[in-house]
Structure 1
Amino acid sequence: MRLQAPIIRHTITLNDDRKQASPGTRILTSFAVALGAMALFGAIAYILPGFSAPIGPSGIPSHVSTDPSNLPYYALRSVFRMFIALVFSLIFAFVYGLAAARSKRLGTVLIPLLDILQSVPILGFLSATISIWLVIFPGSILGVEAASIFAIFTSQAWNMAFSFYNSLTTEPSDLDEAVRILRLTRWQRFWKLDVPNSMIPLLWNCMMSVGGGWFFLTASEMISVNNRTLTLPGIGSYVEEAAGEQNLGRVGLAILTMIIVVVLIDFVLWKPLTAWAEKFRLTQNQSSEPRRSLVLTVLRLSGINDQLARLGRPISYALDRITRPLGRTGARWKVQSRKSRAGDLIWYILVGLACLWGIWELFDLIKTTVGYGEVGHALLLGCLTFIRVVVLMVICSLIWVPIGAIIGMNPKISRILQPVVQILASFPANFIFPFITLIFVAWKIDINWGSIFLMALGTQWYILFNVIAGASAIPDDLLEMSRSLKQTTWQRWKTLILPAVFSSWCTGGITAAGGAWNASIVSEVVTYGKTELTAKGLGAYIAQFTATGDMTRVMVGVVVMSVFVVAVDRLFWTPMQSLARRRYALN
């Protein structure tokens, strides 16, 4: 007997559109899907040769052409990099989040490590890994492509892992108990409860991850490390070149191309996925305004989902049998044995010793190279950047929490504003930095304060998207109950809406804060042609020494940034998440 998914799904009464559709409509939709698949594979075949091209006699290029005719090809290259990184980020989120949530020992290491990883700027990752990728793929542009994709991955993966981990730790207790009573295997539980329960927030974080990838597109396509510049064809490197040439017209063409790309991605991918994910909402009532998507309707009418199900069913059965040795979901509560407690103690001792050894080696390296005074200087700069991050978080929370809740709860408003929000979030804000630089110079705005605005352009969306996801997952029956009780607007926000989105705000706040530290790298130093504005802060410090190849000082900056992020997480965000799980989970 095949086990059904033990999760309360949205009971939307869907008409069988495929049966009601005429034969001509079914043929037309099947043709449209086939044409779309051919276009997709054709585009991939068109750009793949460029990914494995050999390095020319003059070495790796340091410039790209700013001829506008190259923009479509550059856009395809950038989109391809983005979605390769997104696939790896999704796999990473599943594996990392599951390990952290299901293993108490691993969780004590993996979650603080995730805080550190999200605080490390992509320039730090590039400095440490670019040589490795070039050695793995010698004599080929593929090495630089792999470094670029890895850099985009580091701007996408962390918030997705946090989102999945948060969903696992806040699963409704009745559904958790159901899968234990049914004795599902761990593999079955993963696909029938863990993934469906996390689908809506994870999908919105995927959108945000793509937006984060666009934000750091310039840094990942025009890699400047160790006094070298490695440039790949892409829309990010095109904007950087056009800005260096002070050609605002071509920067404008790149922005227009970017808007077209973002709108197409929203229409073809995100809107169908958000409409499809509605079935994973925890509710027993039909939504009065279900989300719709033309692309999703065409896919359903074409019958491709049935064909894919027939192909996937044997694979699913085979994986079920293969994964049975991994064990079944056991009892909820187990008495910790003396042997288990001893194992925990040994684990914590080993982790503590490893941390002490790493700290000792780090301090020894700093002492013998730049001296401890450099650490104090970096800490002072870190305090300045920390003030900017705090101001940014407060302002963005006050603005975007109510807006995100309204968008998530109202399908009519969501249909209108969701594409706008996705376009704004996915649009790489640093593309307009040249224009903002001119405004700062013309209006004599101090970059030390103006950098807060630049950081917000790339990180405020983490809060908005997570709050939208949290609000859209509020059960309709709870909203209906609030209306039946005739609660005032303030009472509804105080007793239902804000508690329901509190956990999502925590997830968005953690990733937004980490993203703000990361964004300080490109926000505290902005240039247009020969005009450069530099703020005092840790981001500018890291950017400066990455460009000159001073890896010791880069490491000092990264370590100081990690200390700030982890300290704030332990002192503020961890208690907030604990409060969310204890009081505001939908159990």
Structure 2
Amino acid sequence: MLRRTFPSPEALRRFPFGLADIALIFGTLVLLGLIARVGAGTLVSFVPPDVVPDVSLNPVHLPYYAARSTLRMFIALFCSTLFTLIYSYVAAKSRRAEQVLIPLLDILQSVPVLGFLSITVTGFIALFPGSLLGLEAASIFAIFTSQVWNMTFSFYQSLRMVPSELDEAARLYRLSAWQRFTKLEVPSAMIGLIWNAMMSFGGGWFFVAASEAISVLNQKYTLPGLGSYVAAAVTAQDLPALGWAFLTIAVVILLVDQLFWRPLIAWADKFRLEQSSAAEAPNSWVFDLLKAARLPRLMRRAFTPVGETINRLLSSLTPQRPRVAINQSRQVASDRLYNFALLIVIGGLLVAGLHFILTTVGLGEVFKTFVLGLLTLGRVLVLLVLATLIWTPIGVAIGFNPRLSRLLQPVVQFLASFPANFIFPFATLFFIRAHVSIDWGSIFLMSLGAQWYILFNSIAGAMSIPTDLREMATDVGLRGWRLWRKLIIPGIFTAWVTGGITASGGAWNASIVAEVVAWGQTTLTATGLGAYIAKATEVGDWPRITLGIGMMSLYVVALNRVFWRRLYQLAETKYHL
């Protein structure tokens, strides 16, 4: 009689693959299949002035629409991360480049997403003739512009704030520029970069509707996606369809949090710059699954020789530069010459802009946009003050308490990622029935998209405060306001400034969609610069589009240079670990 035998536990452990590996392989195949299925929809034929078939309000199509929007979001996030690493590094390492790139970053941040769409849609369509890829690229680029500036500001500031003792250790060990970047600078910035990427990803949802239902230069283009679905539901005044869209985006946000962001946060905990470990590290079932699987370790071993070869090559190409004494007089003369050349370029641009204004809209229109900008500026400042008072203490509490972080992180991630303009139709309906002026209501609508930058940066700043400093503050009896003044405010100040500057830029951007809202055939319009740009973009009035965007850029750059840059300098000189 044959007896059936089963492998022993020891034999199972010796088996090259386990249940974790099977789950990993299955999940990867499912993900690749979804990407292939969704990506095929971007390759259909499209020749303007043809239009893409209308978005159906049948809820059965929502999973496909959600997948299309999510794929655009992740492609934009990848591009944003790549841009952040390169742009921030060049700006932080070269004084000459910094003098150009950081003011340019202020200007780019100030240009509204609709402004980029007005310029890029036609170009991308021409770049991919006969294919829907042109519209897809324009949509992804619009989402990219809503994500990238926050991440770039965060990483740039992290590169400037590397702890001095670690900087000296890197020089002592003669690390090459590549080794320093991969072993010191990126790891020290990782926690802040991930939380800001999470915030940027959530902020990108805010402009999904604008990037998928594009109305520019009297031509309307629509791409299948959640944003265009919501736009169609608003036009049709279809409340059930809006409800299905809300449910779908909630499911997408929760899935992305569980499958992507939570594993990243758990992995990034090892980059804490402290001598004592955190009281309770963040966890993730996906991260635990990846650690339990054997396949990632086998792949890492297989690719280790290739990685080491690339590291040696890049290290040899980027040797450590010795410190050299700076000739102060020569440096001053060089700076003056550089600034003079820069002023000539800026002066030439101003003259060209002034000539354009005088020959198209006139000085009266310039004064009008300046006054409208003051009204929008007032809304932005009110938003920043209220967001700081409300969300900074909450962010610190979440960052200091791992249990609270585990409980509330999905909540704040959901709130930040939920597209605020999906709520606009309901808010508009409330404003109409409650007779609330949109001039005040737009502050609330702008805050739905901008306040989270302060919350997420406060969380990241609190998490970056070393545990040993917090324990020492407890031992010496710091409580209440003294604890905030001696530890918390200095510890989170740099992160708060990053959150403030990006929240400010986000609020200006949000003003374009928050100062003009509609429900069916009823439109509420606030008096402000955002409404001015939105109207000009809708009718394709290029002179007023240019003037409005230029005036908004002027306000944002002036606010950044006069206020936020001084706070950055204070952070670098006074509040630096």
Instruction: Please tell me the TM-score bracket, short chain as reference.
Output: over 0.9
Say whether residues 1:552 and 2:543 are aligned partners: yes
Task: Quote the Cα distance in structure 2 between the aligned partners of 1:422 and 1:85.
Answer: 18
- The alignment status of 1:36 with 2:22, answered yes or no, reads no
Does residue 259 (structure 1) correspond to residue 250 (structure 2)? The answer is yes
- Does the 8 Å CA contact 2:128/2:134 hold for their aligned counterparts? yes
2:561: which partner in 1?
570
Task: Determine helix, strand or coil for the equivalent of 1:323.
Answer: helix
Give the whole-Å Cα distance in 2 for the aligned partners of 1:23 and 1:499: 52
Q: How many angstroms apart in 1 are the aligned matches of 2:194 and 2:301?
A: 25
CA distance in structure 2 between the partners assigned to 1:121 and 1:372 by the alignment: 23
Structure 2 residue aligned with 1:408: 399
Output one character per residue of 1:205-242: Cα deviation in whole Å (capped at 9) or x when no partner.
11011111100110000111000111000000000001
SS in 2 for 1:168: helix
Q: Is the 8 A contact 1:466 1:505 kept in 2?
A: yes
Distance 1:32 1:310 in 2: 21
Q: CA deviation at 1:182?
A: 1.4
Check the 8 A contact 1:463/1:508 in 2, yes or no.
yes
Summarize deviations over 1:368-402 as a string: whole Å, max 9, x none. 11111111110000000000000000000001111
SS at match of 2:451: helix
Question: How many Å separate the matches in 1 of 2:203 and 2:173?
Answer: 40
Q: Report if aligned partners of 1:375, 1:556 keep a CA contact under 8 Å in 2.
A: yes
Matched, 1:533 2:524: yes
1:254-293 equivalences under 5 Å are 254-293=245-284
Describe the SS at the equivalent of 1:224. strand
Residue 457 (structure 1) aligns with: 448
Q: 2:115 aligns with which of 112, 117, 124?
A: 124
SS at match of 2:281: coil
Aligned residue among 493, 498, 507 for 1:516? 507
Match of 1:134 in 2: 125
CA distance in 1: counterparts of 2:165 and 2:210, whole angstroms: 46
- Does structure 2 retain, via aligned residues, the 8 Å contact 1:183–1:330? no
Report how far residue 113 of structure 1 moved: 1.1
Which residue pairs with 2:314 in the alignment? 323
Alignment of 1:182-581 (within 5 A): 182-324=173-315, 326-331=317-322, 334-336=325-327, 341-581=332-572
What is the CA–CA distance in structure 1 between the aligned matches of 2:324 and 2:226, rounded to whole Å?
Answer: 53
* Shift in CA distance, 581/62, structure 1 to aligned 2, threshold 3 Å: farther
> C-alpha separation between the residues in 2 aligned to 1:333 and 1:124?
44
Q: Aligned-pair distance for 1:23?
A: 6.7
Query: TM-score normalized by structure 2?
Result: 0.96
**1:314 deviation in Å?**
2.7
Q: Which runs of 5+ in 1 are unaligned?
A: 1-18
Give the superposition deviation at 1:24.
8.7
Change (3 A) 1:311 1:79: farther
Corresponding residue number in structure 1 for 2:7:
none
Q: What is the alpha-carbon root mean square deviation over aligned residues?
A: 1.9
**Residue type of the partner of 2:90?**
A
Percent of aligned positions that are identical: 51
Structure 1 equivalent of residue 93 of structure 2: 102
The verdict on how the C-alpha distance between 1:352 and 1:373 changes in structure 2, with shifts beyond 3 A counting, is same
* TM-score for the superposition, normalised by structure 1: 0.94
Give 1:251 deviation, angstroms: 0.6
Question: d(CA) in 1 for partners of 2:16 and 2:62?
Answer: 36
Distance in 1 between residues matched to 2:48 and 2:103, nearest whole Å: 45
Q: What letter matches 2:305 in structure 1? A: P
CA offsets 1:31-66 (integer angstroms, 9 cap, x no match): 111111001100011011111111169713273111
Structure 2, unaligned runs of 5 or more: 1-9
Deviation at 1:331, TM superposition (A): 4.0
Alignment partner of 2:83: what SS?
A: helix
Q: Structure 2: which amino acid aligns with 1:230?
A: Y
The residue type equivalent to 1:470 in the other structure is G
